[in-house]
Structure 1
Amino acid sequence: MINQTVNQIDRLATPDGGSMGGARLAYFCYFAAMAGFMPFLSLYYAQLGLSASEIGLLVGIPPVVTFVAAPLWGGLADATHRHKQILSGAVVSAMLVVLVFLVARGLPLLIPVVVAYALFSAPIMPLIDNTVLAMLGEERARYGRVRLWGALGWGVVGTVGGVLVDWVGLRVSFLNYFVFMLILLLIVLRLPVAQTSIGSRFWQGARSLFAEPQWVVLLIAIFCSGVAMSITNSFLFLYVDELGGSRTLMGLSLTVATVSEVPIFFYAERLLRRWGARGLLAIALLAQVVRTFAYALIPAAWLILPISLLHGFTFSAMWSASVAYASELAAPKGLMATAQGLLGGVSMGLGGVMGALVGGLVYERYGAVALFVAVGLVALAGLAFFVAAGPGATEQSRLRPRYPG
């Protein structure tokens, strides 16, 4: 039954009857699984009686594990040429580990579960991305429109997940993850998973990139943004809970955020032509500053909804611009794949763990308002440094944006 449904959606989504519909559905299911699970995990930890600093520790583990494990998984896949087996095995393992959350109690038992979950989750998105890019071939510019299906999955299930958590309780979020990952597994087994290299020469290329001063400037700015994003993702719903907000409101805020993503992703190429990668990145950093300070000032929980509209800039524009700018800096060295891996590692890895760990300590000692004021200052420092340390006229001409149209 499920397989027949996947076949029907695949044919509808792809006029030529190929596999791109399955790729779209893969993104939808993966982010649907995450939307109904990850945003509510901090609330689940709090329900178990963990402190804010303990929650910060648990939330900070996955970025570190992913930063280390993703290149290792990629290297293993390249060395064995078993990309599909590793991807499907990772999906199955992540599904099963998530169920263990339901029986683990206390920090000592939860830590190994979180480590295992992060370890098995690490290769899933890189291998899916690698497959989609290989399927697109020379039409890689269409990647953003395929990736949009992930945003749709996040937005739709975010709201439904919030309603279900209100009705049934937080444990239903684990079932949501399991069901959508099961559908993802069925899709992955049908996809022509690419066996092109995703893990070779990563660290050698990273050392070469650090010789470029503007690359270091970009990473510092992206690190500050990653800290702000991590704190928002990890502690916003705890703050909304303090303000009396419902789980339905939390889920609705995910949908509002996703709606704001869609036009930015869709028109990203046009925005890059208008502002350039560096200009659009500066605008996104400014939006990050406004968003975090706004959270500190809200007197009522429902105000997270209009603030969530800034997510389109703080995530979609931020990611589109940073990916484009990183490509500009890395293209002369032939290290674009390495640049994208390092960009994600610094933003979601190092920035993610710093935001989670330090954020938990600040939240526990000083409260949510102080936390969002502090992270607003971090984001402001990142913006100020990015603008002040920009390239000179000669460097700007060398890094002139290269976008068609």
Structure 2
Amino acid sequence: MEPKRFSTKDLHTGRMVYFFFFSGFGILMTFLNVYYRSRGISGLQIGTLTAAFPLVGMIFAPLWGYLNDRLGNPKVILALATTGTLGSLVGMNAASSFVQLLGAVGVLGAFYSMLMPVVDVVNLKLLEGQRERYGEQRIWGSLGFIFTTLSTGWLFERFGLHTMFAVCGAAFLGMLVGVLRLPAGLRTERRGSSGGLRLLVTNPAWMIFTVGQFILSISSTGMNHFLGVYMRELGAGESLVGMAVGIGAVSELPVMRFSQFFLKRLGAPRMLLLACGAYALRFVLYSWMPSAEWALLVGLLNGLTFGMFWVSAVVYINTIAPPEYQTTAQSLVTSVVSLATVSGAPLSGWVFDHWGGSTLYGLYIVLALTAGGVLAWGVRRTGLGKTHSERTA
């Protein structure tokens, strides 16, 4: 029986969900730690808050994934998680102490942790097996990210960083509208026995990818969380911080647009290696940064770092995961990133407090090169470098 054919309108709805999700994500990633610092919170406390978010997410993401794979109805899961995210933003805005803020951040992590993996799975499902076109959908997330990071810095400078919660809430409200417009027939494979999951997590390619991603994610998430704080230490205002992150997101657009070409020519695993090398170069340039304005140019590498890595990782995991475990697999990827953040954020905060941003990014250079070495070993020794067509030929 042929799978249900989704319409162009359905693909547009998937893009709408991406746009508003990454609009909200862009605000949180760019300005949340700057907001913490504006409240007098120390680097170590910022690291603790940064770690609390993924720590809770690391626990809840596989549970959400299990529930989605059990029900086979991602639309319901997304609506619930988006509503919970909106409620947690209200709590963060109302928090008057570090403990209250820590609790609200934990609630945010519980709901937010499921959004990205399910949004990815939904859009891959809408593409109906044409994984190489994933970038055509995901590019709309980059556009949303660019829109908010470039347009909100001046707003927060004028009206205060506390207004970020209202703007971010508006973005997630737009996402909820998009989720409710997703086609009623959008279903994922329902979970059968546990054998498929066991085959996935014991697959050498999966295990090597997981180790490499974990090491790289310590540095990449640390970069995201401390770049704004590092720039503020160098004299930047909110507008410059937002501009630096927004310009970086602009550089993702060609990678997303031509991801089909890259995936066909290089294969997802080799794209991961390229991303690791680009991350190392990016960290070198940040560690040498004499003024905050340099971040505008360095951020242009974001397409070859985050853009290249994320597209190849999502497509690769979707390729090796059994159909009934695709949401769980993407959720496990999210959990690996969360574990890396939990492990690295307090250390990053401590290094930043004691030795500054230059030393912190020097540490990230070592981690990026190590991650690339792990993945390169996997490509050479275990066949990690094979494309989907090579494995199924």
1:236 and 1:19, CA in 2 relative to 1: closer, same or farther beyond 3 A? same
1:141 and 1:377, CA in 2 relative to 1: closer, same or farther beyond 3 A? closer
* 1:385 to 2:384 alignment: no
1:380 and 1:148, CA in 2 relative to 1: closer, same or farther beyond 3 A? same
For 2:74 and 2:201, how far apart are their aligned partners in 1?
30
- In structure 2, stretches of 5+ residues that fail to align are 1-5
How far does residue 183 in structure 1 lie from its aligned partner after superposition?
1.9
SS in 1 for 2:41: coil
After TM superposition, list the pairs within 5 Å mapping 1:94-243 onto structure 2: 94-192=85-183, 194-197=186-189, 205=196, 207-243=198-234
For 2:152 and 2:41, how far apart are their aligned partners in 1?
23
* CA deviations over 1:263-287 (Å, ceiling 9, x no partner): 1122223223333333322221111
* 1:268 to 2:259 alignment: yes
1:45 and 1:61, CA in 2 relative to 1: closer, same or farther beyond 3 A? same
1:140 and 1:213, CA in 2 relative to 1: closer, same or farther beyond 3 A? closer
User: What is the TM-score normalised by the length of structure 1?
Assistant: 0.85
* 1:344 to 2:334 alignment: yes
* CA deviations over 1:311-361 (Å, ceiling 9, x no partner): 111111112333455466x36999666544433332x22222223222112
1:111 and 1:183, CA in 2 relative to 1: closer, same or farther beyond 3 A? same
SS in 1 for 2:225: helix
SS in 2 for 1:171: helix
Q: Name the aligned partner's letter for residue 376 of structure 2.
A: V
Q: Confirm or deny: 8 A CA contact 2:273 2:375 kept in the other structure.
A: yes
After TM superposition, list the pairs within 5 Å mapping 1:322-341 onto structure 2: 322-326=313-317, 330=320, 339-341=329-331
How far does residue 388 in structure 1 lie from its aligned partner after superposition?
4.3
* 1:354 paired residue number: 343
SS in 2 for 1:36: helix
After alignment, is 250-259 or 315-324 more displaced?
315-324
* 1:401 paired residue number: 387
* 1:3 paired residue number: none
* 1:30 paired residue number: 21
How far does residue 291 in structure 1 lie from its aligned partner after superposition?
0.8
For 2:73 and 2:327, how far apart are their aligned partners in 1?
20
How far does residue 131 in structure 1 lie from its aligned partner after superposition?
3.0
Q: Name the aligned partner's letter for residue 196 of structure 1.
A: T
Q: Confirm or deny: 8 A CA contact 2:191 2:324 kept in the other structure.
A: no
* 2:3 paired residue number: none
For 1:171 and 1:134, how far apart are their aligned partners in 2?
37
Q: Confirm or deny: 8 A CA contact 1:260 1:309 kept in the other structure.
A: yes
Q: Name the aligned partner's letter for residue 37 of structure 1.
A: L
* CA deviations over 1:45-102 (Å, ceiling 9, x no partner): 1122211111111111222222221221233345456644442232222112202212
* 1:252 to 2:243 alignment: yes
For 1:278 and 1:196, how far apart are their aligned partners in 2?
25
Q: What percent of counterpart residues are identical?
A: 30
How far does residue 177 in structure 1 lie from its aligned partner after superposition?
0.8
The number of residue pairs the alignment matches comes to 384
Q: Name the aligned partner's letter for residue 306 of structure 2.
A: F
Q: Name the aligned partner's letter for residue 401 of structure 1.
A: T
SS in 1 for 2:18: helix
For 1:400 and 1:77, how far apart are their aligned partners in 2?
29
Q: Confirm or deny: 8 A CA contact 1:230 1:353 kept in the other structure.
A: no
Q: Name the aligned partner's letter for residue 72 of structure 1.
A: L
Flag the structure with more relative contact order, 1 or 2, with Cα contacts below 8 A and sequence separation at least 6: 2
